Amino acid sequence: MNWLTLIVLPGAGIALLVLLARWLGFNTQPVLTGPDEARTIAHDALVAFHAEQAAIGADARAALVAGRDGRVALVRPHGDRWIVRVANGARVTRSGDTLTVALDEPLFAPVQLKLANNAAGWAARLEAKA
Protein backbone atom coordinates (compact mmCIF):
# COMPACT_ATOMS: atom_id res chain seq x y z
CA MET A 1 0.00 0.00 0.00
CA ASN A 2 1.24 3.44 -0.72
CA TRP A 3 0.74 6.72 1.15
CA LEU A 4 -2.10 7.75 -1.16
CA THR A 5 -4.18 4.82 -0.02
CA LEU A 6 -3.29 5.20 3.66
CA ILE A 7 -3.64 8.97 4.11
CA VAL A 8 -5.34 10.79 1.26
CA LEU A 9 -8.35 8.55 0.65
CA PRO A 10 -9.45 8.37 4.33
CA GLY A 11 -8.93 12.14 4.64
CA ALA A 12 -11.06 12.74 1.54
CA GLY A 13 -13.75 10.44 2.92
CA ILE A 14 -13.86 12.35 6.20
CA ALA A 15 -14.04 15.68 4.35
CA LEU A 16 -16.91 14.34 2.25
CA LEU A 17 -18.81 13.28 5.39
CA VAL A 18 -18.30 16.73 6.97
CA LEU A 19 -19.56 18.47 3.84
CA LEU A 20 -22.56 16.15 3.67
CA ALA A 21 -23.42 16.85 7.32
CA ARG A 22 -23.23 20.62 6.74
CA TRP A 23 -25.32 20.36 3.58
CA LEU A 24 -27.99 18.42 5.50
CA GLY A 25 -28.05 21.14 8.18
CA PHE A 26 -26.50 19.28 11.11
CA ASN A 27 -24.41 22.30 12.11
CA THR A 28 -27.28 24.76 12.55
CA GLN A 29 -28.28 26.12 15.93
CA PRO A 30 -31.86 26.92 16.83
CA VAL A 31 -33.14 30.49 16.95
CA LEU A 32 -35.77 31.76 19.39
CA THR A 33 -38.94 33.06 17.75
CA GLY A 34 -39.79 35.39 20.62
CA PRO A 35 -40.16 35.89 24.38
CA ASP A 36 -43.06 33.46 24.58
CA GLU A 37 -40.93 30.61 23.27
CA ALA A 38 -38.14 31.46 25.73
CA ARG A 39 -40.64 31.46 28.63
CA THR A 40 -42.07 28.11 27.52
CA ILE A 41 -38.63 26.50 27.19
CA ALA A 42 -37.60 27.69 30.67
CA HIS A 43 -40.93 26.65 32.21
CA ASP A 44 -40.66 23.16 30.71
CA ALA A 45 -37.01 22.66 31.68
CA LEU A 46 -37.00 23.80 35.31
CA VAL A 47 -39.05 22.31 38.13
CA ALA A 48 -41.65 24.69 39.59
CA PHE A 49 -40.47 27.56 37.40
CA HIS A 50 -43.19 30.00 36.46
CA ALA A 51 -41.81 32.37 33.86
CA GLU A 52 -42.90 35.98 33.94
CA GLN A 53 -40.56 38.15 31.88
CA ALA A 54 -38.07 37.33 29.14
CA ALA A 55 -35.32 39.21 27.34
CA ILE A 56 -33.91 37.80 24.12
CA GLY A 57 -30.48 38.61 22.76
CA ALA A 58 -30.30 40.55 19.50
CA ASP A 59 -29.24 37.43 17.57
CA ALA A 60 -32.11 35.37 19.12
CA ARG A 61 -29.63 32.65 20.15
CA ALA A 62 -30.01 33.11 23.91
CA ALA A 63 -32.44 34.55 26.42
CA LEU A 64 -32.86 35.42 30.06
CA VAL A 65 -36.16 34.48 31.68
CA ALA A 66 -37.26 35.78 35.10
CA GLY A 67 -39.45 33.57 37.26
CA ARG A 68 -41.95 34.49 39.95
CA ASP A 69 -39.68 33.04 42.65
CA GLY A 70 -36.73 35.30 41.79
CA ARG A 71 -34.81 32.75 39.76
CA VAL A 72 -33.45 33.80 36.39
CA ALA A 73 -33.08 31.13 33.72
CA LEU A 74 -30.50 31.31 30.97
CA VAL A 75 -31.73 29.67 27.76
CA ARG A 76 -29.11 28.93 25.11
CA PRO A 77 -28.59 26.47 22.27
CA HIS A 78 -26.63 23.28 22.68
CA GLY A 79 -26.35 21.56 19.33
CA ASP A 80 -29.83 21.56 17.83
CA ARG A 81 -31.59 21.76 21.20
CA TRP A 82 -32.00 24.27 24.02
CA ILE A 83 -30.26 24.05 27.36
CA VAL A 84 -31.55 25.90 30.42
CA ARG A 85 -29.66 26.76 33.60
CA VAL A 86 -30.54 28.84 36.65
CA ALA A 87 -28.21 31.80 36.32
CA ASN A 88 -28.60 33.57 39.67
CA GLY A 89 -25.21 34.32 41.16
CA ALA A 90 -23.45 34.06 37.80
CA ARG A 91 -20.49 36.28 36.97
CA VAL A 92 -21.94 39.09 34.89
CA THR A 93 -20.00 41.65 32.91
CA ARG A 94 -21.91 44.53 31.35
CA SER A 95 -20.64 46.66 28.51
CA GLY A 96 -23.40 49.07 27.48
CA ASP A 97 -26.34 46.95 26.43
CA THR A 98 -24.33 43.69 26.20
CA LEU A 99 -24.20 41.21 29.07
CA THR A 100 -21.67 38.41 29.33
CA VAL A 101 -22.99 35.70 31.64
CA ALA A 102 -20.53 33.10 32.95
CA LEU A 103 -21.85 30.22 35.04
CA ASP A 104 -19.72 28.07 37.32
CA GLU A 105 -19.92 25.11 34.94
CA PRO A 106 -16.63 24.26 33.24
CA LEU A 107 -18.27 22.99 30.03
CA PHE A 108 -20.79 25.84 29.79
CA ALA A 109 -19.09 28.63 27.88
CA PRO A 110 -19.91 32.25 28.77
CA VAL A 111 -22.88 33.63 26.86
CA GLN A 112 -23.10 37.13 25.42
CA LEU A 113 -26.52 38.74 25.14
CA LYS A 114 -27.01 42.08 23.45
CA LEU A 115 -30.26 43.29 24.99
CA ALA A 116 -32.45 45.98 23.47
CA ASN A 117 -33.22 47.52 26.86
CA ASN A 118 -32.73 47.18 30.61
CA ALA A 119 -29.34 45.42 30.54
CA ALA A 120 -28.53 46.95 33.94
CA GLY A 121 -31.74 45.56 35.43
CA TRP A 122 -31.05 42.08 34.14
CA ALA A 123 -27.46 42.27 35.44
CA ALA A 124 -28.77 43.15 38.91
CA ARG A 125 -31.23 40.24 38.80
CA LEU A 126 -28.47 37.81 37.82
CA GLU A 127 -26.14 38.94 40.57
CA ALA A 128 -28.86 38.40 43.20
CA LYS A 129 -29.12 34.96 44.75
CA ALA A 130 -32.48 33.24 44.28
The DSSP result for 9-70, as a single string, is HHHHHHHHHHHHHHHTTTT-------HHHHHHHHHHHSTT--EEEEEE-TTSS-EEEEETTS
Q: What is the pLDDT of residue 78?
A: 85
- Residues 71-115 pLDDT 10s: 999 999 987 789 999 999 899 999 989 999 999 888 888 999 999
Q: What is the pLDDT of residue 129?
A: 67
pLDDT interval class at 1 (50, 70, 90):
low
pLDDT interval class at 130 (50, 70, 90):
low
Q: Name the β-bridge partners of 111.
A: 101
Q: How far apart are CA 106 and CA 32, in angstroms?
A: 25
- Residues 63-72 pLDDT 10s: 999 999 999 9
Region 106-128 average pLDDT: 88
Q: What is the mean pLDDT of the chain?
A: 89
pTM of the model: 0.79
